[in-house]
Amino acid sequence: MLDFGWPELLLILAVAVFVTGSDDIPKLLYNAGRVVRRLQYLRFAMSSQFESFMREHDLAELRTDRSSVPDDYDDTGEDEFVEIPEDREGDDDQKR
């Protein structure tokens, strides 16, 4: 997602000191921490709500249940070759 290293963080900190002043940096970092904490809580709430929905409706077994898949299902991913009749090959050219 976001990949910040130490050089980028130091550059951001230096720009923040020049733009906001050294007195406002603690307030700025405190508010940024509150925003990050709220985003983490939102992520936790959404994932727990999703999991409770899955448990409530017994959908967790649908993920692992393969009894609904027919026995002749080819899960190798190989498609069958379908041959196009010769009289249909030129239909696309005639429509253009």
Question: Of the candidates 93, 4, 84, which has an alpha carbon nearest to the alpha carbon of residue 13?
Answer: 4
- pLDDT confidence of residue 96: 47
Read off the pLDDT of residues 52-66 as tens digits, 9 standing for 90 and up. 887 887 765 666 665
Q: Torsions phi, psi of 78, nearest 5?
A: -85, 130
Triad 75, 79, 83: Cα angle to 5°:
160
Q: What does the pLDDT average to over 62-90?
A: 62
User: What is the per-residue pLDDT for 4?
Assistant: 78
pTM: 0.44
The residue type at 34: R
For residue 84, the 8-state DSSP code is: P
Is the pLDDT assigned to residue 77 strictly greater than 70?
no
Tell me the C-alpha to C-alpha distance, in Å, between residue 32 and each of 15, 25, 39.
16, 10, 11
Report the pLDDT averaged over residues 29-44.
93
